[in-house]
Chain A
Amino acid sequence: GQSLEQPSEVTAVEGAIVQINCTYQTSGFYGLSWYQQHDGGAPTFLSYNALDGLEETGRFSSFLSRSDSYGYLLLQELQMKDSASYFCAVKNNAGKSTFGDGTTLTVKP
């Protein structure tokens, strides 16, 4: 089966940098995704890593280490609007994505 672990809550201040870690166990690993969800609304795609290394998209970056079964989402120059839940999701070679339980990020002024 597939399982993921990520912290349940993270708090940071505006302008800071925060890293949300995700460790996973799966067979037939394809890639690791990150999604953002505000207040129970539609999750929105942030990034996807299929290969080791860092992917940068504006203020958000995502990292993957396949050998360590580990990834993280890095948010820079935090803004109040970044307060949301962040989910990592692992995709297997059958196309199925399993989501973690989410990390609630609270950005304080």
Chain B
Amino acid sequence: EVQLVQSGAEVKKPGESLKISCKGSGYSFTSYWIGWVRQMPGKGLEWMGIIYPGDSDTRYSPSFQGQVTISADKSISTAYLQWSSLKASDTAMYYCARYLNVLPRAFDYWGQGTLVTVSS
């Protein structure tokens, strides 16, 4: 069974750093891209970026380039999303999802989400 299991909810202060994780199982982790999607409270889905764990090829949305870092450790089938200095506006639910760049060219499996709250 394909599963993406994300790390737990986080409460941080502005200026702090954070790294959240997404562990894949039940499939070949290095053969699919892993994307990250932000959903701010009461708002829609925003694609942040994507990584291919097989060779760490990473692409970012222009809106998030330089704001976050996406990485992966294929030895433990885990992808990461990290911030070096959080802002209150980073408060959101963050989802990871599996993506294949041939059919279906869509996010077919999703993690359960990690809620990040940034507040002083």
- A in complex with B: no
Using a CB–CB distance below 8 Å, which chain A residues touch chain B?
none
Using a CB–CB distance below 8 Å, which chain B residues touch chain A?
none
